[in-house]
Chain A
Amino acid sequence: MGIDSVTQPAAAPWTGAVADVATSDVALTQILHGLPGVDEVGVRDRVAALATRSIKNQAKMAALDLAIRMVDLTTLEGADTPGKVAAMSAKARRPDPQDPAVPPVAAVCVYPDLVEVASRAVRGSPVLVASVATAFPSGRASLAVKLADTRDAVAAGADEVDMVIDRGAFLSGRYGQVFGEIQAVREACGPAHLKVILETGELATLDNVARASWLAMLAGADFIKTSTGKVSPASTPQVAQVMLSAVRDYELAAGRQVGVKVAGGIRTAKDAIRYLVLVNETAGPRWLTPDRFRIGASSLLNDLLMQRSKQLTGQYAGPDYFTID
């Protein structure tokens, strides 16, 4: 059995014509508010049921390795320095110096003014450089400033840009403005990939998460991302469930596969594997790849390494056996 074993033509009246989307507030409101509602209690139930999946042995090992490869190793602090970024990048390339079989992570994620340092540090490895931009994390600046922020990051060598949407505009119904900004940033990205951060904690309802997901995808996002990690709650399984349903439906409607990144509050391997189960059983196994699913985290990596070593050796390790950078 499997989601992709069913080939049926997809008729999706809720998605309407996605190729040519009118971008006025009125038109976008009709599309977004015409999406089916999301029942929050039902989502909680589904997520709770999927949390009972028991992933063991070789399945767990595969999941741990995949999760490591999906990590965007992140430092986004005011106190970040070139030294800090260089150290983190070294860990990104080689998470476990004792075990070269441990794969590198997907990317490092830093502020735009440290992209150059990160870029140099990961050169020659498969690790990508992702940069936040657009007045991260609040998004409260003029469009001109946000675009300049983006261009700086790309010019410095960012392979991926994580932008924030204007939540104030979204919550006041100015969907056209949000749409336009995403399009403009997409253009400013050039060859770099665009992840659009919805900041689900501020959107408050799952209906808003569904609408913001569609808005971002219609405007050209390569990935939709839950959170900046600076606001609580950050990512939750419920929010991820809604976003994974959205990217699945969007592909059926528009023929384009958009990725999902969860960020903030994912600290343990157990959490990470629960998210992978959500991906597997909601969007489908075709999203089980770093090209389509990422986990923004910092301390998670060491827990993944600890669980991995436990799978291999049968013993639980302690924190001293893993590097802190």
Chain B
Amino acid sequence: MPQKQGTPALQDIADWAYAPAPQATDVVRIAPENGLFIGGEFVPAADGRQFATVNPATEEPLAQVAEAGQADVDRAVAAAAAAYEQVWRPMPGRERAKYLYRIARIIQERAREFAVLESLDNGKPIRESRDVDVPLAAAHFFYYAGWADKLEYAGLGPAPQPLGVAGQVIPWNFPLLMAAWKLAPALAAGNTCVLKPAETTPLTALLLAEVCQQAGLPPGVVNVLTGDGAAGAALVAHPGVRKVAFTGSTEVGKEIAAAVAGTGKKLTLELGGKAANIVFDDAPVDQAVEGIVGGIFFNQGHVCCAGSRLLVQESVAEPVLDRLRRRVATLRLGDPLDKNTDVGAINSRAQLDKIRELSDSGQEEGAERWSPPCELPERGFWFPPTIFTGVSQSHRIAREEIFGPVLSVLTFRTPEEAVAKANNTPYGLSAGIWTDKGSRILWMAKRLRAGVVWANTFNKFDPASPFGGYRESGYGREGGRHGLAAYLDA
């Protein structure tokens, strides 16, 4: 070692703290009271009821939001039906397209507002809402705008027709993005919409309603009903709704399927998952570790297609886990509005309780639990990234969807065994394959019962790429040319 450097300490910076880098929140103005969006206007609930939406990182209330009741559902569906018959259905596709292009553009213009609001209401890191949620939402509108006047080329017949009023119920994990996934194809196909955002995350849907106003969208084409599960059920059951789209838990999905049985309503469901992320001995190992980390800790694991089961080939399990633990130890958990935060808050107390309960069961059932040393803020809903090893198929944490930052690690010996274990679940939403061998990727992909297979990557989404599950992960696809089928009489 060169001697001339004075008094060299071998490491100059023992812990280079990045310093707080908070995203300014003054770009967004949250009204203290927020109405429902019906017929192009913001109106209070018919019975005046409201509920609070809370910042999960601090437990501070953000705003009061109207709570939709049956009367409001009736009003909204009526407005959507009138708009469908009188305005939207007769409008040529190329004009519908231009409205959707406007919406896409305004989302881009107001991107910073949307990102901040999403992180405040949902708890996800600003880096994710800024770099993933908001750009993808705009992209979905851009993509489907382009289909509005090209439906005859979608492979669904020479003149596919819309269905009517779509009732759409979305979850709290990607509030704005799920709204975009629902509205964009429905509107492009010529339907009108009544959207019911999740109870804990209403705010970006309301901002999107404002964007619809700014785009000059004819009144009633899009309606937003904030409220709880009962409001969603009322919407699904309404006879004026011809098409139902639901993203959420498998449990509720089954209820909805039962509820619409015999009504002739078209239904698509995007439900839960317990995806296997399969790592072979010839995987590009550093990138596989990134894929494992992204697969389960992106969005705090609140992802239906999360890689919540790591299936690692037994011959390389030790070194992969070693690297994985080192990498997980660099994750930064904390204030979602800090630009350097990797892991944000759990969306609600209810979800936090569920994650804790399942994690405790993992320990009770004999798996080994590990989390990196992690300081959790005092207020708010937080759960450290957690890895369970020594997990077997019969453990609850290998079978039940945790929907949190908890990874269950199992091993396999051969490709056939990996396939068998990956498929050994009622779910079938997604899977990951990590190997340097192309033919093995294709062999595995053919055998995995999953609607989305990621090879040497994970959690990649694009409006042009169809997304949806097999079996109890739901039916129907969102995104791509295939995503139009749900909203057309084809």
Contact = CB atoms under 8 A, between A and B. Distances in A.
Q: Do chains A and B touch in the complex (CB under 8 A)?
A: yes
Interface of A: 1-3, 5-6, 8-14, 36-39, 41-43, 45-46, 52-60, 62-63, 66, 69, 106, 126-128, 159-160, 193, 245, 276, 280-281, 285-291
Contacts of B2: 128, 159-160, 193, 291
A6 B371 CA distance: 10
Contacts, number: 141
B24 interface: no
A20 to B, nearest CB: 21
B9 to A, nearest CB: 7
A2 B282 CA distance: 27
Contact of A126 (B5, B12, B21): B5
Measured as residues with beta carbon below 8 angstroms from the partner, the interface class of chain B is 35 or more
B316 interface: yes
B287 A288 contact: no
Interface of B: 1-2, 4-6, 8-21, 127, 131, 282-287, 290-291, 315-316, 318-319, 322, 325-326, 329-333, 339-340, 372-374, 436, 456-457
B331 A39 contact: no
A143 to B, nearest CB: 26
A43 B325 CA distance: 19
A3 B283 contact: no
A288 B16 contact: yes
Nearest to B342: A49
Contact of B287 (A2, A38, A54, A59): A38
B10 A1 contact: no
Given A38-B284, A53-B340, A54-B339, A11 B11 contact: no
B4 A289 contact: no
Contacts of B340: 53-54
Given A8-B325, A36-B285, A290 B16 contact: no
B231 to A, nearest CB: 37
B287 A42 contact: yes
A230 B382 CA distance: 50
21 contacts: A1-B329, A1-B333, A1-B373, A3-B326, A6-B325, A8-B326, A9-B322, A13-B319, A36-B282, A36-B283, A36-B436, A38-B284, A43-B286, A43-B287, A54-B18, A56-B21, A57-B19, A59-B17, A285-B14, A289-B11, A291-B1
A291 B10 contact: yes
A1 B372 CA distance: 7
* Residue in B12, B285, B316 with the greatest tally of chain A CB atoms within 10 Å: B12
B18 A56 contact: yes
Contact of B19 (A60, A193, A289): A60
Nearest to A293: B12
Contact of A59 (B4, B16, B131): B16
B376 to A, nearest CB: 12
A60 B131 CA distance: 23
Given A1-B373, A42-B290, A66 B19 contact: no
A3 B291 contact: no
Given A13-B319, A285-B15, 9 more contacts: A3-B326, A8-B322, A14-B285, A37-B282, A39-B456, A45-B457, A60-B19, A288-B11, A288-B12
Contacts of B332: 1
B19 A288 contact: no
A2 B4 contact: no
B182 to A, nearest CB: 28
* Residue in B13, B14, B127, B290 with the greatest tally of chain A CB atoms within 10 Å: B13
A159 to B, nearest CB: 5
Contacts of B16: 59, 62-63, 276, 280, 285, 288
Contacts of B315: 13
Given A1-B332, A2-B329, A38-B286, A56 B13 contact: no
Nearest to B338: A54
B5 A13 contact: no
B1 to A, nearest CB: 6
B13 A62 contact: yes
Contacts of B17: 59
A184 B105 CA distance: 62
* Residue in A39, A43, A289 with the greatest tally of chain B CB atoms within 10 Å: A39
Contacts of A52: 127, 131, 339
B20 A56 contact: yes
Contacts of B319: 10-14
Contacts of A287: 11
A130 B304 CA distance: 54
Nearest to B333: A1
B4 A5 contact: no
Given A1-B374, A193-B2, A285 B11 contact: yes
Contacts of B457: 41-42, 45
Contacts of A39: 284, 287, 456
B92 to A, nearest CB: 41
B8 A1 contact: no
Contact of A289 (B10, B131, B284): B10
Contacts of B286: 36, 38, 42-43, 245
B202 to A, nearest CB: 28
Contact of A42 (B8, B13, B284, B372): B284
* Residue in A54, A55, A57, A59 with the greatest tally of chain B CB atoms within 10 Å: A54
A288 B285 contact: no
Contacts of B325: 6, 8
A128 B5 CA distance: 8
A2 B15 contact: yes
Contacts of B287: 38-39, 42-43, 46
Contacts of A2: 15, 329-330
Nearest to B384: A1
A154 to B, nearest CB: 13
A252 B291 CA distance: 22
Contacts of B339: 52-54
A159 B4 contact: yes
Nearest to B339: A54
